[in-house]
A and B are shown apart, each in its own frame.
Chain A
């Protein structure tokens, strides 16, 4: 272990960087003229979109070829490999969903002597704590940790406190409060830790409340493609899937050595993925280790959730791009893929820029790109649509669901806005803390 994956201190803002971007643009305009500069920007954007299009297409091709068989593949040795596991869940004001979560955790198929379940009540102000206490009284397998108000650290802080309670566990498996894992999920996740190189394993999250709103059913399809195609493709082609923060397992000795979950980020999952890679470990992905979670139901909640993801993910790029480019644990191809992965939440920002260039071009401002703007507009959608389509086929979803893909066009539009706002806020250093996702608790 090199210790390179430990948390690092980073600057709270990047205003100089933002200023540098503007300065470079101004200088280029001064030298080349506005039209020519815009034409060159459009060309560069097209190259970036082309790169991402082939990345997504590659994932779709890989998933179409191998995913279905992987879902069907029988388990090997899941019965005999049962290291001590601690299931950790952080809850804050989750009384609507906590019962379903605890019931699912207590129904997990794993030897009782090797399983500890710790649920953290992170200073909830509703009935979450009381419900957890009642569950704990009824079933001694459940341990409840009540955190005091102001304990800090958000989800990461709660998980770090829970980790301190489970000395004997070799593997920590993390769920969120709205998650309901399938009974066999622990055995499926844990089996990958036979390989000592593996630091963490990610399972597949499936939306269970698609019936509640059209947005939720759109997110259900988004998750299908995200997990069955994108995450699967990253593993199949680069062995670089991401640890996702819930329905995932990590070695306890490793997470302790790395200093625990990072409380200074709102996407502790991406942060941990990168720290594991920098430490020379690997993340694995198991599409057959399934748990069910709630999707947000309104555009407002969707905006808040995706803003948090974009903000945290973009911060990870700013925090880690240098160590990733210099680490000896990744090959050049793996470094490229990791950088593209970290660029994912910047691509919508570039899409917004591209659309702006198209509009300016319509008014006669800016030169024609070396690559046609029509191609640009097609590539904006072609890659994600291909992933979504393959996800629908692999998920064996009924045929009429295909028309729901049209609903992704406004969703793409929204992601352009959320990612752009997150980018500007992040560069400017606007204060941002953990934003809890509201639940419905209906399903």
Chain B
């Protein structure tokens, strides 16, 4: 064993005798209490004589002021009192008559238990003054009793009534001191009955500080001493400075009330001043925040400011938190089950699958419904049933039988063509306790029928490609063209025509065809959710970077005022409520053209969900409680999606067959840290990727239109802010 190792072992052996944390805490508290006792005893021995003399002098002067004769404090540490019969008595001012023991006890308590409270000194001084005044009353009462009644009465009053008074005023002094160190009603978190009054969001509240019930403030507005001091007495500059400090302390109350997007903005702003300036608020965010997007933002800004000199221990704590957040391991998703069963139609389509998975992720049980017995959604959901196609005469009966059997709480339809078949069944479903929310049939028809849709768009003045639906007018539409069925979905029977000579043939070969001018530019889909009152709750535009079979397989979310306004205008024109996806193009000059609207969730829905807009959850909430206020959903722009195939295996009888490639745990794609070793594209060469801004997905596309906002993980938009004028 080397000499260094020997030394290490010897040191470790010595350290074994070092007390554990609990005895150390005990020792610390014991020392504090011993210090307090020593302070009381020492203070008493040191100051008892001067304090006694001071109290005697003070009482004598008050007696003089009152004009009472035959009582004198000339002895210095006692009084000479002549009773009613002029018999003299010397009333000595003993230690127990003095306030010193009470004041020292209050001081000791303030030091050991309240020293961390900013108003402890003021509280102690106020209590000491009160105790002094009360003891003077006690002394004067004793002396006057002796002067006017009898000497024995003086002794009785002082020893017995005085002892009770002593106890009472010491207790009240303690209450005064405590009261002044407590929080005023504005900064307190609960009232005297235990109701939560700070109005913090649940996630940001300190646990157990108040029961959350509505609290009405019935107090009459009184004179606020602090307000008077601030407004009338202090100089304006000092008052403003103190107000700023006070607001700074309260900032974490306010941050918690904001939307996630706004919280992220505030965090960037606060951290931008330096991590040492608003460290307490940033630590509060790290402690209380539950939104992964906001936490990503915090970790990102902390990681970006590693050049800063460390301002204190809290900044180190913040950096340790950020390191752990960025390095966090993939975790098992654990969501509390809601106990609800939700039926989803069209469970075989991409939209249906996305809705099924979104509901399961939120803790709901799913009853998958589809006409195809091999529809993949039937394998993904906990329960499944095969129904006839919606245009089959037995559809209604079969559906109601399934609902009778399973009794789901709600039904979500992901196939717009089923709306017409479902609309007559709403009352029957209601009777079974199954809630649903379908768009108005005429509105849905206006979207599904591309001719009616084109008429609506043209009537509303919304940019829409020139459209012809009769052989006579098809020649009037400028080319190049796209020929497609007036009622169709999923790019079926869509023909692109460049040669005018081929247009007629194409038009004739597609059943129920329409011909439109082919729009150029960059194709987008905007997933939207419109509330029952017509409010646009969510609008998540995403580029359709690559599509297969009409479904986006690569995409990127983006923000654009022009696109959002056009989408809002389109949905308003058709009068649609509920889920919708609006497809269109952004031209080279930034002009936005809408091509079609599908009154349902889209096949690219997973990207919208991944960007943070839980349109499925909000829609289900509206289905279950139509009167409930729905939140406006924000999203993160610049999130990209690359789709891949996934497999589900099952035997001929439907029994699941284990997936040999299924990992033991699955990671939650809440924007994990960038892959280690792969430099962030936004900051090449500026350090390890794990220390970069955590969102790995960045917009690589340049803004094709002047009105399209800059993409990036930091930009986080809420449609409500953009659409204030559009509503």
Contacts and interface: CB of A to CB of B under 8 A. Distances in A.
A and B bound?
yes
A61 B112 contact: yes
Nearest to A206: B208
A109 B207 CA distance: 15
Interface stretch (A18-26, A86-94, A378-386, A415-423): A378-386
Given A111-B334, A141-B339, A290-B208, A220 B193 contact: yes
Interface residues of A, number: 76
Interface in B483-497: none
Interface of A: 54, 57-58, 60-62, 64-65, 71-74, 79-80, 82, 106-112, 138-141, 182-184, 188, 204, 206-208, 210-211, 216-217, 220-221, 236-239, 287-290, 292, 333, 362, 372, 374, 377-378, 381-382, 385-386, 389-390, 392-393, 395-406, 443
Contacts of A287: 207-208
Contact of A64 (B114, B208, B339, B363): B114
A402 B188 contact: no
Nearest to A402: B179
A399 B185 contact: yes
Contacts of A393: 114, 117, 178, 181-182
B6 interface: no
Contact of B336 (A108, A188, A206, A217): A108
The 9 A-B residue pairs whose C-beta atoms are closest, nearest first, are A290-B208, A210-B193, A401-B192, A112-B337, A398-B188, A210-B194, A402-B179, A396-B189, A208-B211
Contacts of B61: none
B474 interface: no
Given A236-B22, A396-B209, A398-B185, 8 more contacts: A288-B207, A372-B96, A374-B166, A377-B167, A389-B178, A396-B183, A396-B187, A400-B192
B122 interface: no
Given A61-B29, A64-B113, A398 B192 contact: yes
Contact of A217 (B25, B193, B197, B209): B193
B211 A401 contact: no
B332 interface: yes
B289 to A, nearest CB: 10
Contact of A390 (B25, B113, B287): B113
A61 B33 contact: yes
B178 A71 contact: no
B540 interface: no
Contacts of B47: none
A211 B195 contact: yes
A399 B113 contact: no
Interface in B123-173: 160, 163, 166-167, 170-171
Interface of B: 22-23, 25-26, 29-30, 32-33, 96, 105, 109, 112-114, 116-117, 160, 163, 166-167, 170-171, 174-175, 178-185, 187-195, 197-198, 206-209, 211, 213, 284, 286-287, 321, 331-332, 334-337, 339, 363
B143 to A, nearest CB: 20
Nearest to B189: A396
Contact of A72 (B29, B30, B187, B287): B287
Contacts of A207: 194, 211
Contacts of B166: 374
A61 to B, nearest CB: 5
A71 B336 contact: no
B334 A210 contact: no
Contact of B167 (A54, A141, A378, A401): A378
24 contacts: A60-B113, A72-B284, A106-B339, A204-B208, A208-B194, A210-B194, A290-B208, A292-B211, A362-B160, A372-B96, A374-B163, A382-B105, A386-B113, A393-B178, A393-B181, A396-B183, A396-B187, A397-B189, A398-B191, A399-B184, A399-B188, A400-B192, A443-B211, A443-B213
Contacts of B335: 111
A398 B208 contact: no
Nearest to A188: B207
B194 A206 contact: yes
A57 to B, nearest CB: 6
Given A73-B287, A217-B194, A398-B188, A58 B336 contact: no
Nearest to A57: B33
A402 B171 contact: no
A374 B105 CA distance: 14
Nearest to B183: A396
Contacts of B191: 397-398, 401
Contacts of B23: 333
Contacts of A107: 336
B334 A82 contact: yes
A343 to B, nearest CB: 19
Contacts of B174: 385, 389
B665 to A, nearest CB: 10
A402 B188 CA distance: 13
Nearest to B213: A443
B523 to A, nearest CB: 40
A236 B25 contact: yes
A102 to B, nearest CB: 12
A112 B213 contact: no
A220 B209 CA distance: 11
A189 to B, nearest CB: 12
Contacts of A382: 105
Q: Pick from B109, B181, B286, B331 the residue with the most CB of A within 10 Å.
A: B109
Q: Pick from A74, A80, A393 the residue with the most CB of B within 10 Å.
A: A393
Contacts of A140: 339
B194 A238 contact: no
A400 B191 CA distance: 9
A80 to B, nearest CB: 6
Contacts of A217: 192-194
B227 to A, nearest CB: 15
A71 B188 contact: no
